[in-house]
Amino acid sequence: MAEADDGRLLHEMLTAEEAELSRFTAGWDIHGVAGRLAAKEAVFKLLHVTGRTLPWQSIEILKSPGDWPFVRLTGPASRWAADAGIEAIDVSISHEEQFAVAVAAGATGRPPLEEEFHAQQDLVQR
């Protein structure tokens, strides 16, 4: 993807700010790109939306001042997080040679709706 059409597909999956963070003078930071894409998918799965495709440009994986990954949501991803009551999302990204993996965790300030609570309890009891 990085080599085809000067990374045209990557520019569709990464925002301009992410692309800037993912480039070296000599070309793409492949580990950084793979980590960002894995983190975007982890965030999307955390949102638990069905019948939708991953909104690549709506989930940004940026760097905090301490170089930790920082999640910024816009557009549909932001609306889905709000609908789920998710107020903050943290991601952890790991790289090993040619592989990248990411996990996302969300924090909510609202208690689950009664139906959600009973559904969760039912799953726990099984």
What CATH number did the domain enclosing 64 receive?
Answer: 3.90.470.20
Please give the pLDDT value at position 112: 56
- What does pTM read for this prediction? 0.80
Please give the pLDDT value at position 74: 96
CA triplet 99, 61, 97: central angle to 5 degrees? 15
| Separation of alpha carbons 48 and 60, rounded Å | 17
Higher pLDDT: 59 or 7? It is: 59
Residue 123 identity: L
Mean pLDDT for the chain? Answer: 85
Tell me what the mean pLDDT of segment 57-83 comes to: 94
Find the distance separating the first CA and the last CA of the chain, reported in whole Å.
Answer: 43
Residue 12 identity: E
Each residue's pLDDT tens digit, 89-121: 999 999 888 899 999 999 987 665 666 655 655
Each residue's pLDDT tens digit, 35-50: 999 999 999 999 999 8
| Separation of alpha carbons 10 and 77, rounded Å | 19
Total domains in the chain come to 1
Q: Which residues have CB under 8 Å from 74's CB, separation 6+?
A: 57, 58, 60
- The domain in which residue 113 lies consists of 4-125
